[in-house]
C-alpha cells in the first residue's frame, strides 16, 4: 500500500472541478423533453450460463501452481457467468489468431440476435436505422462486425457506421454520446448502438494474483440500444421506452495507464487490473461526480437511480462508501455482477436494463450512469425519464 500513497496524493491534488471536465451535452432541465431518448434496449448472452463453481472447475488447470484461486473466485461477488468459450477451448493453448477467429464466429450471431430484439422492441426494421455504432475491445477484423452485421440484418447501403474499439469497460459511453449527436434535432432519425464483448476468449494461463482476479470476474455479453430524437417513432404510435440523455462527462488521468489495460500478446489479449484500481477510483469519484451534477443544478440526493459499472465487488464497496449510497441504490449493479459478471462495455447497459425493468422509474426521475476503464478513465451520463 505504501507505493500507492504518492499516487493517490497526486491524483487527489488534480483540479477536478466543473471547468476541467469538458461538458459534452449541457441541457437545461426545461429542455429535457426535447432531448434524444432511448427508444429500446435489449441484452444478450452467448450459450449457457455457468455457476462460479463450475467455471472454477473448468479453469482450475490454469491455476494449478497456487492455492489462492478458489478463495478469489468465491470472493468475486459473481454467482453465474456466460462464456462463449466452450469447455474444451482452454484444454490446449490458444494463439491470438485462433481466439480472434472464435470471436468473429461467436460475435456475429450474438450481435444479430440482440439487435433484432432491440429493433422489435421499438417496432422498427433494420432498414430504418440511420446510424450504427459498434463497441468492442475483445476482437477485431476488417471488414468488421459493423459491416457484417449490417449486411446480415439488411441495413441500408447509405447507413452511417462508426466503430468504437479498444476502450474497455466505459466504451458504451462515447458511443451513446455520438449516437445522441447523430439524431439530435432531427425528428425521425435513429441511431443504433451495439456493445459486444467476448472476454472469455482471452483468459490466460498465468497463476499471478492479478490474472486470477481477472479470470474470476470477466464474462461475455452484448447490449443494443436504439436512440431517437422526439418523433422518431411517432408514425408507429410508439413512445420512448427509456430515459432521455441529458449530459455527459469524462475524466482521464494520464498518469495511471498501467493500472487497467488490455494488451495484445501472442496468446490473445492480456487484461491487467491492478489491485489499486478501487483505491484510485474512490479517491477521485466525488470530485468527478459532484461538479458534474452541480452544473446541471443537481446534487446526489436528486438522483433516484444509480447505475454503477460493476467492475468488481471491491470497486462497488469503495464507491458506495465514498458516495454515501445505500444498499438499495447499489442493488442493480450488484445484481448484474452476481448474475453476469463483468462483461466490459455492455455491462452498464445491463445495469440500465435492470433499472428499467425492476426499478420502475417514474416520469421526471433522474438517473446517473458511470463506468471506469483503461486510462484510468471515468465516464458519467445524466439521464431522465
Write out the catalytic residue numbers: 169
Return the number of other C-beta atoms located less than 10 Å from residue 272's C-beta.
Answer: 17
Pick the closest to residue 240 from 226, 261, 259 (CA basis): 226
- How far apart CA 99 and CA 215 sit, in angstroms, is 16
Which class for 361: exposed (0-12), middle (13-18), buried (19 or more C-beta within 10 A)?
middle
Angle subtended at Cα 276 by Cα 270 and Cα 279, rounded to the nearest 5 degrees? 140
Specify the residue for cell string 475524466: 251
Return the number of other C-beta atoms located less than 10 Å from residue 293's C-beta.
Answer: 21
Specify the residue for cell string 454503477: 308
Cα dist from 243 to 71, 304, 332, 362, whole Å: 40, 13, 16, 10
Query: Residue 307 in contact with residue 350, Cβ under 8 Å?
Result: no
Query: Residue 276 in contact with residue 257, Cβ under 8 Å?
Result: no
Query: Residue 314 in contact with residue 375, Cβ under 8 Å?
Result: no
Amino acid at each position: 500500500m505504501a507505493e500507492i500513497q504518492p499516487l493517490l496524493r497526486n491524483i487527489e491534488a488534480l483540479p477536478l472541478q466543473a471547468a476541467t471536465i469538458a461538458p459534452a451535452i449541457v441541457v437545461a432541465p426545461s429542455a429535457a423533453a426535447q432531448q434524444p431518448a432511448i427508444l429500446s434496449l435489449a441484452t444478450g448472452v452467448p450459450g449457457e450460463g455457468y455457476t462460479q463453481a463450475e467455471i472454477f472447475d473448468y479453469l482450475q488447470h490454469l491455476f494449478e501452481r497456487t492455492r489462492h484461486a478458489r478463495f478469489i473466485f468465491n470472493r468475486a461477488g459473481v454467482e453465474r457467468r456466460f462464456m462463449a468459450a466452450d469447455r474444451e477451448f482452454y484444454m490446449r493453448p490458444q494463439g491470438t489468431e485462433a481466439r480472434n477467429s472464435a470471436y468473429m464466429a461467436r460475435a456475429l450471431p450474438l450481435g444479430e440476435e440482440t439487435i433484432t430484439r432491440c429493433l422489435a422492441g421499438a417496432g422498427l426494421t433494420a432498414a430504418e436505422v440511420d446510424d450504427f455504432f459498434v463497441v468492442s475491445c475483445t476482437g477485431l477484423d476488417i471488414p468488421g462486425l459493423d459491416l457484417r452485421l449490417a449486411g446480415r440484418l439488411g441495413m441500408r447501403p447509405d447507413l452511417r457506421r462508426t466503430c468504437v474499439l479498444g476502450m474497455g469497460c466505459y466504451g458504451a459511453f462515447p458511443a451513446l454520446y455520438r449516437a445522441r449527436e447523430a439524431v439530435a434535432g432531427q425528428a425521425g432519425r435513429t441511431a443504433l448502438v451495439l456493445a459486444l464483448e467476448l472476454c472469455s476468449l482471452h483468459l490466460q494461463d498465468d497463476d499471478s494474483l492479478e490474472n486470477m482476479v481477472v479470470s474470476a470476474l470477466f464474462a461475455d455479453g452484448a447490449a443494443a440500444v436504439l436512440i431517437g430524437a422526439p418523433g422518431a417513432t411517432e408514425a408507429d404510435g410508439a413512445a420512448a421506452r427509456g430515459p432521455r440523455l441529458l449530459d455527459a462527462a469524462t475524466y482521464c488521468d494520464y498518469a495511471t495507464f498501467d493500472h487497467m489495460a488490455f494488451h495484445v500478446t501472442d496468446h490473445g489479449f492480456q487484461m491487467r487490473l491492478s489491485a489499486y484500481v478501487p483505491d484510485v477510483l474512490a479517491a477521485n469519484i466525488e470530485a468527478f461526480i459532484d461538479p458534474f451534477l452541480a452544473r446541471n443544478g443537481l446534487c446526489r440526493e436528486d438522483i433516484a437511480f444509480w447505475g454503477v459499472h460493476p467492475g468488481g465487488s471491491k470497486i462497488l464497496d469503495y464507491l458506495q462508501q465514498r458516495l454515501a449510497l445505500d444498499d438499495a441504490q447499489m442493488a442493480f449493479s450488484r445484481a448484474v455482477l452476481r448474475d453476469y459478471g463483468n462483461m466490459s462495455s455492455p455491462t452498464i447497459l445491463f445495469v440500465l436494463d435492470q433499472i428499467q425493468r425492476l426499478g420502475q422509474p417514474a416520469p421526471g426521475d433522474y438517473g446517473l450512469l458511470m463506468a471506469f476503464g483503461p486510462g484510468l478513465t471515468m465516464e458519467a451520463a445524466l439521464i431522465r425519464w
